[in-house]
Amino acid sequence: MRRMNKPLSAADSAAQTPIAAEVERRRTFAIISHPDAGKTTLTEKLLLFGGAINLAGQVKAKRDRRSTRSDWMAIERERGISVVTSVMTFDYDGRVFNLLDTPGHEDFSEDTYRTLTAVDSAVMVIDAAKGIEARTRKLFEVCRLRDIPIVTFINKMDREARDPFDILDEIEKTLALDTTPMTWPIGQGRDFAGTYDIASGEMRLLTDDGRTVDRQPLDLASLAAKNPMLDAEAIAEELKLVKEACRPFDFQAFREGHLTPVFFGSALKNFGVKDLLDALGKLAPPPRAQVANTRKIDAHENAMTAFVFKIQANMDPNHRDRIAFARLCSGKLRRGMKAKLTRTGKPVTLSAPQFFFAQDRSVADEAYAGDVVGIPNHGTLRIGDTFTEGEELAFLGVPNFAPEILRRVKLGDPMKAKKLKEALQQMAEEGVVQVFRPLDGAPALVGVVGPLQLDVLKVRLAEEYGLDIGFDQPEFQLARWIACDDRKKLDEFVSANYSSVAEDLDGDKVFMARNQFILDYTRERAPGLVFNDIKDVK
């Protein structure tokens, strides 16, 4: 599949340079939601609009097929969850949309957090009957840390739904996020007839076959004549109230992440999806500047820069390949170019970068800021890696989070200790688990957010390395990164607490505590030291 070169809109063609024009037409986003709110269904409908798939049902079909092809993903199949994070690119209305998919299950939330560092905006999908659910709130908080603008889609309006005012109120109160409805539902559940477009005053009607039809002048009387359950007068009253009472849309507040435009629809019935996509095109930001350790890199700069936010192993079981997903931050990536991997200082030839589509991948001849390319490699790349055309810099903001669960890896065959060490190193570089190596030489600890990560680790070590492992409950429950401006003080702390300190993948020191009490006690007695539960990868 090839990218189409569609005409640019007026705003786009105002851009000065070819790079700027390409940057301006890109929209890189993710969908955040609680499981079951309709993320998969909406993804599919967005891809249909983008012409990236032809038939509904293919996103799920692909997911199933892929999991049967690869054994370790049997875990996914058995438990009916999506372990994989991937990217889907499609063109719509002269723009290039990069939709970064995230795993639905919370045990893989680290993956999701990392993916959210690679997007410029997000769509928040809310089930109209349920409102804000736990995982939506958590993911929203992660977006807020980076002030990512959010477009809201209230889904499942074709089912019994809560009062729309109620839902808006809940968003405002629980997320401290202002709302502006852009559309308003006319009826709900079985009587859901369509939406009212608040800016134009027109309506868009739902069709039986899921086609998207043009907006038309509001005519409540004829709607009510067709469906006696709709009370034209009450609806007219409500729409009047909406116009008067709801906050007007404030573009800047949206772009700063303080206000969300809200759309109502039904992903299942393919309704409201076009309005959402149009809004993403018009309102959501093009690739933003990215912060590195030395400076901020603007998307319009000429030199290519990119960072790796995700590593996916076993995409194709016939080739034991690993794909590093890199988000471009500036410049132009050309196939075959040499880039500098700043962690090692070594050059890397990008000989076969790839684009991903719903059903395909293809070689990427060129890519621009906002694009995500897959870089096949055999273990040279790790999460957080930065590519440049020579400049010495490292992007910040692909974080590590303190694990919720710590386990000691128990090896069936002690002769394989060296192999285990290598394997754990690989798994940590891929972000499957975090690995902490105690300074006193005790066996490594692995840290995870949820138990499913441990299952994945066990299966992958067995299948890819022939290692039979188990897990023991270690004496430690908590891990915190320790830092101190005064190097000497840090060293003193480490030697005084030698048997409770480990090193992570990067050699950073981690204090391991038996429980919260010990952590608090230690913290109190170590003034000047900080015990962090988040670490930005350098």
Give the integer Cα–Cα distance in Å for 257 and 38.
Answer: 23
Question: Residue 59: CB partners within 8 Å, gap ≥ 6?
Answer: 40, 43, 44, 47, 53, 358
Provide the minimum distance between the beta carbon of 324 and ligand G4P in the complex, in angstroms, as a whole number.
26
The closest of 335, 306, 311 to 323, measured between CA atoms, is 311
Is 33 annotated among the ligand-binding residues? yes
Task: Assess 37 for contact with ligand G4P (CB under 6 A).
Answer: yes
Task: Assess 104 for contact with ligand G4P (CB under 6 A).
Answer: yes
Give the nearer residue to ligand G4P in terms of CB position, either 46 or 457.
46
Give the nearer residue to ligand G4P in terms of CB position, either 35 or 379.
35
Angle between helices 134-145 and 109-116 in degrees, nearest 10: 40
Is 161 annotated among the ligand-binding residues? no
DSSP 8-class letter at 218: -
Task: Assess 260 for contact with ligand G4P (CB under 6 A).
Answer: no
DSSP 8-class letter at 498: G
Give the nearer residue to ligand G4P in terms of CB position, either 162 or 243.
162
Instruction: Enumerate residues 374-393 that contact ligand G4P by CB under 6 A.
Output: none
Q: Which among 9-17, 31-39, 306-314, 319-327 is the span making contact with ligand G4P, rule CB under 6 A? A: 31-39
Residue environment code for 478-503, b if the CB has 16+ CB neighbours within 10 A, otherwise e:
bbbbbebeeeeebeebbeebeebbbb
The closest of 150, 138, 173 to 257, measured between CA atoms, is 150
Task: Assess 53 for contact with ligand G4P (CB under 6 A).
Answer: no
Q: Which among 38-46, 221-229, 284-292, 508-516 is the span making contact with ligand G4P, rule CB under 6 A? A: 38-46
Give the nearer residue to ligand G4P in terms of CB position, either 268 or 449.
268
Give the nearer residue to ligand G4P in terms of CB position, either 272 or 331.
272
Provide the minimum distance between the beta carbon of 421 and ligand G4P in the complex, in angstroms, as a whole number.
38
96, 132, 267, 273: which one binds ligand G4P (CB under 6 A): 267
Give the nearer residue to ligand G4P in terms of CB position, either 87 or 311.
87
Q: Which among 219-227, 246-254, 264-272, 525-533 is the span making contact with ligand G4P, rule CB under 6 A? A: 264-272
Provide the minimum distance between the beta carbon of 101 and ligand G4P in the complex, in angstroms, as a whole number.
10
Provide the minimum distance between the beta carbon of 267 and ligand G4P in the complex, in angstroms, as a whole number.
4
Give the integer Cα–Cα distance in Å for 123 and 372.
Answer: 18
Is 294 annotated among the ligand-binding residues? no
Give the number of other CB atoms < 10 A from CB of residue 166.
11
Instruction: Enumerate residues 131-160 that contact ligand G4P by CB under 6 A.
Output: 155-156, 158-159
Task: Assess 324 for contact with ligand G4P (CB under 6 A).
Answer: no
Is 400 annotated among the ligand-binding residues? no
Give the integer Cα–Cα distance in Å for 386 and 335.
Answer: 17
Task: Assess 38 for contact with ligand G4P (CB under 6 A).
Answer: yes
Give the integer Cα–Cα distance in Å for 402 and 406.
Answer: 10
Task: Assess 453 for contact with ligand G4P (CB under 6 A).
Answer: no
Residue 257: C-alpha distances to residues 79, 88, 250 (Å): 35, 24, 11
**Residue bearing tokens 């710590």:** 406
Is 336 annotated among the ligand-binding residues? no
The closest of 40, 73, 60 to 459, measured between CA atoms, is 73
Residue 43: C-alpha distances to residues 136, 156, 268 (Å): 16, 14, 11
Tell me, rounded to whole angstroms, the distance of Cα 522 from its chain centroid. 35
Question: What is the phi/psi pair of residue 481, to 5°?
Answer: -75, 135
Is 157 annotated among the ligand-binding residues? yes
Give the nearer residue to ligand G4P in terms of CB position, either 123 or 432.
123
- Residue ranges binding ligand G4P (CB under 6 A): 33, 35-41, 104, 155-156, 158-159, 266-268
Which residue positions form the known binding site? 33-40, 101-105, 155-158
